[in-house]
């Protein structure tokens, strides 16, 4: 069984995807970490994030530990958001993601183009979203006093624009994806709703 979970930044898709993987006994891949790993590699080698070719050269991430907490930093996230729009970068990472999805037994993948590009034939697809203000509040709570709320909201809106307007695999809701708006849901309620949606699609419990 393949479950595709897509959505914008801070929508809760990662938390939901991990919970779905645990519930259904599947492996999970946060595909955003791959782009963050490229960003980290790019900066570590002095590459220019504004250069698609430099970003493409940084796509050999075999030496990057995907558990490195630095990958979760705002600085890396900002660079990852920019380089993820480059077709050469997406092309370099697509095989790894498709292979993960195709492994025996299935998998849960979350990102921004899982249900449309990576696993268009997924057994269940969720599009997880929330209002920009709610997502900015969540991100601001994570950062604490490191940034103002207005700055975080502006960053969320900028990322939304980059993700949805890029030419290569833009963030869109797949026609057959179930919408899950987490704006007014607790984590527990959002996970319960996600599990119910997948069960309804697959008949698997």
Q: Is residue 59 part of a domain?
A: yes
Q: Is residue 101 part of a domain?
A: yes
Angle at 88 between CA 85 and CA 89, to 5 degrees: 60
75 secondary structure, DSSP code: H
Q: Is residue 36 part of a domain?
A: yes
Domain count, the chain: 1
Nearest C-alpha neighbor of 48 from the set 36, 35, 58:
58
Q: Encode pLDDT of 11-61 as tens digits.
A: 999 999 999 999 999 999 999 999 999 999 999 999 999 999 999 999 999
Summary mean pLDDT of the chain: 95
Q: Is residue 9 part of a domain?
A: yes
Whole-angstrom distance, CA of residue 178 vs CA of residue 98: 21
What pLDDT, on a 0 to 100 scale, did the predictor assign at position 205?
A: 81
Q: Encode pLDDT of 105-131 as tens digits.
A: 999 999 999 999 999 999 999 999 999
Instruction: Give the structural domain span for 124.
Output: 2-199
pTM of the predicted protein model: 0.94
Q: Specify the CATH number for the domain of residue 93.
A: 3.40.50.300
Q: Is residue 205 part of a domain?
A: no
Q: Is residue 131 part of a domain?
A: yes
Counting every residue, how long is the chain?
A: 205
Q: Is 191 strand, coil or helix?
A: helix
Q: How many CB atoms are closer than 10 A to CB 35?
A: 27
Output b/e per residue, 66-100; b: 16+ Cβ within 10 A. eeeeebeeeebbebbbbbbbbeebbebbbeebeeb
- Burial label, 200 (beta-carbon count in 10 A; 0-12, 13-18, 19+): exposed
Beta strands (DSSP E) in the chain are 2-6, 27-30, 107-111, 124-129, 178-181
What pLDDT, on a 0 to 100 scale, did the predictor assign at position 103?
A: 94
Q: Encode pLDDT of 130-161 as tens digits.
A: 999 999 999 999 888 778 999 999 999 999 99
Q: Is residue 154 part of a domain?
A: yes
Q: Is residue 204 part of a domain?
A: no
């Amino acid at each position: 069984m393949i479950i595709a979970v897509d959505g914008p930044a801070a929508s809760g898709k990662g938390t939901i995807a991990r919970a779905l993987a645990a519930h259904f006994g599947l492996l999970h891949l946060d595909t955003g970490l791959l782009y963050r790993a490229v960003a980290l590699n790019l900066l570590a080698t002095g590459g220019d994030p504004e250069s698609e070719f430099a970003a493409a050269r940084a796509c050999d991430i075999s030496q990057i530990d995907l558990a490195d907490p630095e990958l979760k930093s705002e600085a890396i996230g900002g660079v990852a958001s920019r380089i993820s729009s480059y077709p050469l970068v997406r092309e370099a990472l697509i095989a790894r993601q498709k292979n993960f999805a195709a492994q025996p037994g299935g998998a849960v993948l979350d990102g921004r183009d899982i249900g449309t590009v990576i696993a268009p034939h997924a057994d269940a697809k969720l599009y997880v979203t929330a209002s920009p203000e709610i997502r900015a509040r969540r991100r601001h709570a994570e950062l604490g006093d490191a940034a103002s709320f207005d700055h975080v909201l502006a960053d969320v809106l900028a990322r939304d624009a980059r993700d949805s307007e890029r030419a290569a695999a833009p963030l869109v809701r797949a026609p057959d994806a179930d919408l899950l708006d987490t704006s007014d849901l607790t984590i527990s309620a959002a996970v319960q709703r996600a599990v119910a949606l997948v069960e309804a699609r697959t008949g698997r419990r």
